């Protein structure tokens, strides 16, 4: 995510899409290596995390808010 670190929105808007695409691919490759090393089903982990986030941040309480779950 070095392409975005310490940059303003206007600077980020100037980053070529091709560079962003390659950065995302690098991140995904790294995540795939980590998931394989620790025998983690990537899809299962994502579904589980979405469920946990839904419990921590119920839509009716958190929609439009930037408060932490403990402040809702």
pLDDT in tens, 35-72: 999 999 999 999 999 999 888 888 777 777 777 766 76
pLDDT in tens, 1-37: 778 888 888 998 999 999 999 999 999 999 999 999 9
Domain range list for the chain: 9-71
d(CA 72, CA 30): 34
DSSP calls for 13-55: HTS-HHHHHHHHHHHHHHHHHHHHHTT--HHHHHHHHHHHHHH
pLDDT at 69: 62
pTM reported for the whole predicted model: 0.65
pLDDT at 3: 81
């Amino acid at each position: 995510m070095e392409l975005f670190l310490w940059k303003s929105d206007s600077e980020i808007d100037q980053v070529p899409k091709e560079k962003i695409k390659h950065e995302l691919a690098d991140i995904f490759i790294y995540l795939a290596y980590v998931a394989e090393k620790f025998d983690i089903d990537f899809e299962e982990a994502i579904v589980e995390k979405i469920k946990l986030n839904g419990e921590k941040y119920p839509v009716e309480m958190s929609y439009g808010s930037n408060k932490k779950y403990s402040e809702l």
